[in-house]
Amino acid sequence: MKTILITGASSGLGASLALSLAARGHRVWATMRNLEKQEALVLSAKKKNLSITIRQLDVENMESVTQCVADMIATEGRIDVLVNNAGAGFVRTTEQATEEEIRWVMDINFMGVVRCTKAVMPYMRVAKSGHIINISSIGGLVGQPFNEIYCAAKFAVEGYTEAMASYLETGFGIKFSVIEPAGIQSEFAKTVMSQLNSTGGIRQDDYLPLFQQYINRIQSRSSEEIARVYQSPEQVAEVVAGCIDTENPPLRLRTSPWADEFCRFKTAADPTGKLQQAAVIASLL
């Protein structure tokens, strides 16, 4: 049994992962910024007769992060796994995005990962064990139209994870994994598009034809293609749970054959990222 902290667990992948890990016998702390959104997870856990601890944690606030981690250590005595799942999508051209919006995307998707990792590191370092899992995206490997700000944040997560893994696994036994799903059937995409529409959509006329082409391509996918591209939160959660339960987890892990195919030109030589990690260690440590 492992003690596991999950961020962004009010719905979608985070909630599904909390349920999956609890069902596997792990001690799960499911956290979320707004505890008013805990009802669905509470009901699901009760229905499945699962024990899950739910706590408030705002990844954009270091004090909130530190307090939650301290409470977990005081209660459980240790933290074995951190799953940095909290994040937000963002569809907007660089020209249209405000500096405030760009900072927000980077803060919640990247700095949130840094804050939570920073908070658990002292405990994992002393224990000389631990596993930090960062939920990225195929957008952290491959840039995509109108998603450049979001992709930049996920690219940052990927580089951060690689760099941390290059010395903390060897020096302190702390393992790192970055999870790279394609599409997930959740409220995530709906929230992104709702956010875009509420701020006037793609306003620059020059971009509209390309943006419409992008939207049409997504909306015209056949049912068979949709089934290959999009996974349910439960399907992705099982992949992440399997990574947690694996003795020697990969550094990189796509969650579907479609995601592997989409990223093949960047990952074919080293699908798990372990070869590059070994090369960095051999060269620099």
Residues with a catalytic annotation lie at 150
Distance of CA 232 to the CA centre of its chain: 15
Nearest to 177 by CA among 139, 135, 143, 138: 135
Q: φ and ψ at 92, to 5 degrees?
A: -170, 145
Give Cα separations from 167 to 57, 118, 175 (angstroms): 28, 15, 10
Q: Which contiguous run of DSSP H or E holds residue 136?
A: none
What's the count of helices (H) and strands (E) in the chain, helices before strands?
Answer: 13, 9
Give Cα separations from 145 to 150, 209, 240 (angstroms): 11, 13, 27
